[in-house]
Structure 1
Amino acid sequence: MKRISSIVTAAALCASATLSFAQGDKPKLDERLTAAKNVIDEIMGTPDKGIPQSILAGASCVVVIPSFKKGAFVVGAQYGQGVSTCRTPQGWSAPVFVQLAGGSFGFQIGGQATDLVLVAMNQQGLQDMLKNKFKIGGDAAASAGPVGRNAQAGTDWKLNAEFLTYSRSKGLFAGIDLDGTVLSQNQDDTRSMYGANVPFEVVLGGKTPVPDTARPFVRTVAKYFVVSKENH
């Protein structure tokens, strides 16, 4: 009987610690959502140097990996943490927390951390986003995205690229080669936000309500990534 009581007590303590940890993580996640919103606002605040309208209108999913401060990424290990949302028939989905790791490039240019934006451009890109983990350039074809309001991209990205990739550092916004990096769901952060380990595809499929603290980010994506009738 004592043993059962001890097990129950230990389980309760473990659950309490987990809940405490999740609650303690929440401010960090809220900060990441705010940073991701700001990245989109700042990029689109200069349309002549931002993402072309045709790409905004055709996007299936958007991933934003903001840099919180100088030296935020560990070279050779986990490069960055970010958030993702996908277009659904009801609007843009609640966000999933993601991490980007691997690759042979550095995110830091002269010690300055870099913001990253990945845009899924077709149904295959969307399906790849719904996987729990995939390699960019392997599981999902990617190209450095064109920049500027009137940018005329080649036909390769229209025909082949499932993802268009961008970087911003020291005010410079341009396409970037992210081949070899692995994008995956951050399950711990997802659990902290939603209270359970909700599957990637459930959230991005629009089956999870958007948390209050995530609404500014989702609304900002919806504001810019609109489907234009002129482009369809």
Structure 2
Amino acid sequence: MVVAVTIPAMAADKAKLDERLTDSQNIINEIMATPDKAIPSSILGGASCVVVIPAYKKGAFIVGAQYGQGVATCRTGHGWSAPVFVQLTGGSVGFQIGGQSTDLVLVAMNQNGLQHMLANKFKIGADAAAAAGPVGRNAQAGTDWKLNAEFLTYSRSKGLFAGINLDGTVLSQNIDDTREFYGTATPFKTILNGNIPTPPDARPFVGTVAKYFIATHNK
């Protein structure tokens, strides 16, 4: 009886993670479908890691509450890594948007951002400098973002896509979901460094990231 109860529960959890991957894939496709309002090519080409937090529903934004669950992948020497599962919590200042459904995208722009992603937890704006990301073909970010911003942050609400201030939020690994998806508590660093093959269920998401986040040059 224990086995009969446990297996369906595990399957339900896995289905939920697959849905999160699909939602994240769809978010990227929908954002990039309108180039004039999408992430600029200069940012796509220079990204080290990409984090997608699919929408939270109305009423979810409460001080101290968990904002959402998402997935992340990082660029490696042989393509984009298998995904890890993350969570974003805390820091409601600048994020009270009337409880509307919102998608979040965070883009690590340099080696410092990558190193924060390889750790298991960091605070945006304190441990890792962040800036609201620009949008559109010819959009320009702030004058010093290339030097100082480790992450560019974006939100999409009611179809509008724009940079957002996420200072004070904490991005951390979701160990339970990662264990559920991979069958073992594989370290984040091992996965994001590209040392674990991408599971079949995750290939559409990783492939979509690779489709748009194409390196403009090799260093």
Separation of aligned partners in 2, 1:111 and 1:78: 13
Q: Deviations over 1:126-161 (max 9, x none)?
A: 000000011011111100011111112233110000
- Say which of 92, 109, 122 aligns to 1:104: 92
Partners in 2 of 1:70 and 1:30 — Cα distance?
22
Which residue number in structure 1 is paired with residue 48 of structure 2? 60
Q: Which residue of 2 aligns with 1:7?
A: none
Q: Distance in 2 between matches of 1:157 and 1:21?
A: 45
CA displacement 1:160-218 (0-9 Å, x = unmatched):
00000000000111100001100001111001100011101011110111111111100
The residue aligned with 1:6 is none
Letter of the structure 2 residue corresponding to residue 77 of structure 1: A
Structure with greater helix share of residues? 1
How many residues end up aligned between the 2 structures?
219
| RMSD after superposition | 2.1
> Within 2, Cα distance between the matches of 1:92 and 1:197?
20
Q: Corresponding residue for 2:12? A: 24
Q: Does structure 2 conserve the Cα–Cα contact (< 8 Å) formed by 1:108 and 1:114?
A: no
- The whole-number CA distance in structure 2 between the counterparts of 1:137 and 1:17 is 44
Please say if 1:195 is aligned against 2:180: no
Larger radius of gyration: 1
Alignment of 1:177-192 (within 5 A): 177-192=165-180
* 1:42 CA displacement: 0.5
1:13-68 Cα distance to aligned partner (Å, 9 max, x none): 99997766433300000100000000000000011001110000000000000116
Aligned counterpart, 1:123? 111
Letter in structure 1 aligned against 2:37: K
Q: CA deviation at 1:100?
A: 0.1
Corresponding residue for residue 10 of structure 1 = none
Query: Letter of the aligned partner of 1:99 in structure 2?
Result: Q
Q: Secondary structure at the match of 1:125?
A: helix
The runs of 5 or more residues in structure 1 that have no matched partner are 1-12
Over 3 Å counting, the alpha-carbon distance change for 1:74 and 1:191 in structure 2 is farther
Q: 2:149 aligns with which of 151, 161, 168?
A: 161
Structure 2: gaps of 5 or more residues: none
Opposite residue 165 of structure 2, the aligned amino acid is D
Provide the C-alpha distance between the structure 1 equivalents of 2:61 and 2:182, rounded to a whole number of angstroms. Answer: 25
Q: Which amino acid counterpart does residue 160 of structure 2 have in structure 1? A: L
Q: TM-score under structure 2 normalisation?
A: 0.92
Which segment drifts farther, 17-26 or 75-84? Answer: 17-26
Deviation at 1:110, TM superposition (A): 3.5
1:211 correspondence with 2:199 = yes
Q: Note closer, same or farther for the CA distance 1:97–1:65 as it changes in structure 2 (3 Å cut).
A: same
Report the secondary structure of 1:67's partner residue: strand
Does the C-alpha gap of structure 1 residues 160 and 207 become closer, same or farther in structure 2, counting only changes over 3 Å? Answer: same
Q: Normalising by structure 1, what TM-score?
A: 0.87
Cα distance change on mapping 1:103 and 1:43 into 2, 3 Å: same
Which residue, 95, 102, 115 being the options, matches 1:114? 102
Q: Distance in 2 between matches of 1:207 and 1:221?
A: 18
Deviation at 1:113, TM superposition (A): 1.6
Measured in 2, the distance between the counterparts of 1:139 and 1:14 equals 44
The residue that corresponds to 1:8 in the other structure is none
SS at match of 2:144: helix
